[in-house]
Chains A and B, each alone.
Chain A
Amino acid sequence: MNIVDLMPFSVLVPLIASAIVALLPGRTLPWAVTFLAALISAIIAALTLPAATEVTLSYPFGNWPPPIGIEYRVDAANAFVALLVSSMASLALLWARTSVNREVPRRQGPFYALFLLALAGLLGITMTGDAFNVFVFLEISSLATYALVAYGSDRRALLAAFRYLIMGTIGATFLLIGIAFLYMMTGTLNMADMAERLPEVRDTRAVRAALAFIIVGLGLKLALLPLHLWLPNAYAYAPNFVTVFLAGTATKVALYVMLRFIFTVFAPDYSFVVLPLATVLMVLAVAGMFAGSWVAMFQVHLKRMLAYSSVAQVGYMVLGVSLVTTAGLTAAFLHLFNHALIKTALFMAIGTVMYQTNSIKIDDLRGLGRQMPWTMTAFALAGLSIIGVPTTAGFISKWYLILAAIDVQAWWLVGLIVLTSMMAVVYIWRVVEAAWMTKRPADLPTVREAPLSLLLPTWLLVALNFYFGLDTRLTVGAASAAADVMLGAGLGGAAP
C-alpha cells in the first residue's frame, strides 16, 4: 500500500471509528478506541507530510477521475495542517481521560463519537480538494462541536453552544453562497479545476461577490475580530477537554481554508487586487491583536481570558497573511502550529487547576502556587511561550513575523507586535502574581497537587513548546514549504 492509498484513511479512520464508538458501553472502552483512532490518523498524517512536500498527492474517491469525482488533494500546506490537527487530538486525548470522567459521568460513547466526528470533519476540510466537500466537512465538524460545547457542566454552556450554532451556521451559509456563486460561474467544484477556469470569468460581479462571501464566512469560523463573538463563551463553558482540543485546531483549520481560497482558488493577483484585502486583513488583524489582548487583561474567568488571548493570536496569524509575502505566510503557518502548542498547554494547565479546585476565577487561585506547584509552573512556562520569550515556540513565530514585517519596511508593525506581546505579559503575570505572590486566604480550601494523568500530558505539551523553540527544523521547514505552495504554483503540481 503506497502513501497515496493510505492518505485518505487519516480522515476515514476517525469517521468510521465514530460510528463504532457511539455503540460502545462504559467509559474506558470508548476512550481507548478513540485514542487509537486519533493515533492512527496522526501516524498516517505524519507519513503523508514528507511525501506531500515533494509532490502533490491526489486520491480519487471511488476511482472517478478528479474534475468529476471528489478527490483528496494534499500538498505541503494541508499535510502540515492535517498533521497538526491529528497530533493535537492525540495529545489532548492523553489528557482527556481523567478530566472527561469528571465532567461526563454518564456513558461516554456518544461524547467520544462526537469528538471523533469533529476530528474527522476538521481533517476532511484540510485534505479535500473539492470546494463543496469543504462545506460538508465544515458542517460535520461544526455540528459535532456545537453538541460537544453543550456538554459543559455549567448551564451557560447551553446558551454558549446555541450562540455558536447561530453564528457558525451564518458563517457556513456565507461560505456555501460563495461556493455556489463559483460553481455557477465555472461549472466545477474541484478547486484545482476552479482555479484554472476562474481567470476567464474573473471580472464579473458574481465572482467578486463569491470572494467576499467566502472571506466573511470563513472569518466567522476563524474568529477574526468583529466576528469573534461566539468564541469566548464557547471556549469558556465547554468541557475542559473540548476547549483544549478546539483551541488548538478549529480556528487553525478555518485559517487554512481561507488561505486555500485566497491563494489557490482565486490566486493572490486577483483576491488582493479586486478587494482591498491586504488592508482589510491587516486592520482587522491589528485590531484583533489589541482588542483581544486588552480584554484578556481584565478577565476574571481564566478560560475566558485565554479565549480572548486566542482572538489576539488569530490576529498575529492573519497579520502574517496580510503582508502577502512568502516570509509573512511562513510566519502565519508557523504561528498556526506554535499557537496550537501554546494554547493547548495553557488550557491543559488551567483545566487541571479547575479539576482540583472546581473554580476558574482568578481570586480562587490566590496562593495556589505552593499547593499545586507543578501545575502552576507548567502554566507559567507555557505563558512564557505565549509572550514570546526566546527558547520557546512562541518566540520563533513572533520572530519570523517581525522579520516578515521588517522585510516590507513596516517598522510600525514591529512596534505593535512588541506592544501586544507586552500586553500578554500583563495577563499571564496576573495569574502568576495571584498564584505565588499572594498568600492563600484562610477561607479558600486547601488543595493537593493534581493527579499524574493530568500533569504528565500538560508537561509533555510544555516540553514540546521548548523543544520547538530550540529545534525549528521541522516547523520552519514545513511552514516555509507550505507558504511556497500557497504562493507558488499552488495546485499545479503534478499528481502521481
Chain B
Amino acid sequence: MSENGILRVVARFLIPLIMLFGLYIQFHGEYSPGGGFQAGVVFAAGWILFALIYGLENALKVISQRAMYVLAAAGVLLYAAVGLLGVAMGGRYLDFYPLLESPHAAQQFGIITVEFGVGVTVATVVMLIYTMFARRKSEWEAILKEGDEP
C-alpha cells in the first residue's frame, strides 16, 4: 500500500493525531471516560496504521518485537509494584491512600500509575498480536514464492 500517495499523506497526517488521542485518553482516564485499556488500543492502532502503510519492517524499527515483549511484562510489573507500594506503606494491596498525604492526590497518583501500566501492556500486546499475524503472512508469501520458482 506504500505506493499510494493519498494513503501516505493522510496516514502521515493521522498517525500523530491518533497517538495524541491515545495519550489524551490515558492521562484523563482517572476522572473522565477512558483509561489504560482504551488508550493502549488506540495508541497501538496508530502504530498498526503505520505498519500497514509503511510496511512491517519499518514499523519494527520503531519498536522491536523483543521490546514489545519486555514492555508487556513491564506494564504488569508496574501495576503490581504500585499495589505492593500500598502494602509497604502500611495499607492493603492497591491501597493508594498511604502513598501521598492528600487523599485526593494519592488516589490520582495511584490510578494514573496503575492505568499507565495497563496502557503499556495493552498497547504492546496488541502490537505483538498484529506482528505475529503479519509475520505469518510474509512467511506464507515466501513459501508461495519458493513454489513458483522451481
A contact set with B: CB distance below 8 Å:
5, 8, 12, 15-16, 19-20, 22-23, 59-63
8 Å CB contacts to A: which residues of B78-96?
A: 80, 83-84, 86-87, 91-96
Given A19-B73, A20-B73, A22-B73, do A63 and B97 touch, yes or no (CB 8 Å)?
Answer: yes
B18 within 8 A of A: no
A22 CA to B72 CA, complexed, in Å: 10
A5 CA to B95 CA, complexed, in Å: 12
Asked whether B70 lies within 8 Å of A19 as measured between CB atoms, the reply is no
B11 within 8 A of A: no
Closest to B114 in A: A62
Measured CB to CB, the closest approach of chain A to B4, in angstroms, equals: 37
Asked whether A62 lies within 8 Å of B93 as measured between CB atoms, the reply is yes
A12 CA to B76 CA, complexed, in Å: 12
Measured CB to CB, the closest approach of chain A to B64, in angstroms, equals: 15
Q: A61-B92, A62-B94 are in contact. List 7 more A-B contacts (CB 8 A).
A: A12-B80, A19-B73, A19-B74, A23-B73, A61-B94, A63-B92, A63-B97
- Bitwise interface map of B from 30 to 57 toward A, beta carbon under 8 Å scored 1, else 0: 0000000000000000000000000000
Measured CB to CB, the closest approach of chain B to A324, in angstroms, equals: 37
Measured CB to CB, the closest approach of chain A to B125, in angstroms, equals: 12
B77 within 8 A of A: yes
A19 CA to B83 CA, complexed, in Å: 15
Number of A-B contacts (CB under 8 A): 40
Measured CB to CB, the closest approach of chain A to B20, in angstroms, equals: 29
Asked whether B80 lies within 8 Å of A63 as measured between CB atoms, the reply is no
In the bound complex, residues from chain A placing their C-beta under 8 Å from that of B84 are: 16
In the bound complex, residues from chain A placing their C-beta under 8 Å from that of B73 are: 19-20, 22-23
In the bound complex, residues from chain A placing their C-beta under 8 Å from that of B80 are: 12, 15-16, 19
Closest to B96 in A: A62
Measured CB to CB, the closest approach of chain A to B122, in angstroms, equals: 14
In the bound complex, residues from chain A placing their C-beta under 8 Å from that of B74 are: 19
In the bound complex, residues from chain B placing their C-beta under 8 Å from that of A59 are: 92-93
8 Å CB contacts to A: which residues of B103-135?
A: none
Measured CB to CB, the closest approach of chain A to B136, in angstroms, equals: 15
A12 CA to B95 CA, complexed, in Å: 15
Q: Return 23 A-B CB contacts under 8 Å, by A number.
A: A5-B87, A5-B92, A8-B93, A12-B80, A16-B76, A16-B77, A19-B77, A20-B73, A20-B77, A22-B69, A22-B73, A23-B69, A23-B73, A59-B92, A60-B92, A61-B93, A61-B94, A62-B86, A62-B93, A62-B94, A62-B95, A63-B91, A63-B95
Task: Specify which of A5, A60, A63 lies most central, judged by the most chain B CB atoms within 10 Å of its CB.
Answer: A63
In the bound complex, residues from chain B placing their C-beta under 8 Å from that of A5 are: 87, 92
Measured CB to CB, the closest approach of chain B to A3, in angstroms, equals: 14
A8 CA to B94 CA, complexed, in Å: 12
In the bound complex, residues from chain B placing their C-beta under 8 Å from that of A12 are: 80, 83, 93
Closest to A23 in B: B73
Closest to B76 in A: A19
In the bound complex, residues from chain B placing their C-beta under 8 Å from that of A63 are: 91-92, 95, 97
Cross-chain contact of B92 among A16, A22, A62 (Cβ < 8 A): A62
Measured CB to CB, the closest approach of chain B to A451, in angstroms, equals: 33
Q: Which 8 A-B pairs have the closest CB atoms?
A: A62-B94, A19-B76, A63-B95, A16-B80, A19-B73, A63-B92, A22-B73, A19-B77
In the bound complex, residues from chain B placing their C-beta under 8 Å from that of A16 are: 76-77, 80, 84
Measured CB to CB, the closest approach of chain A to B30, in angstroms, equals: 14
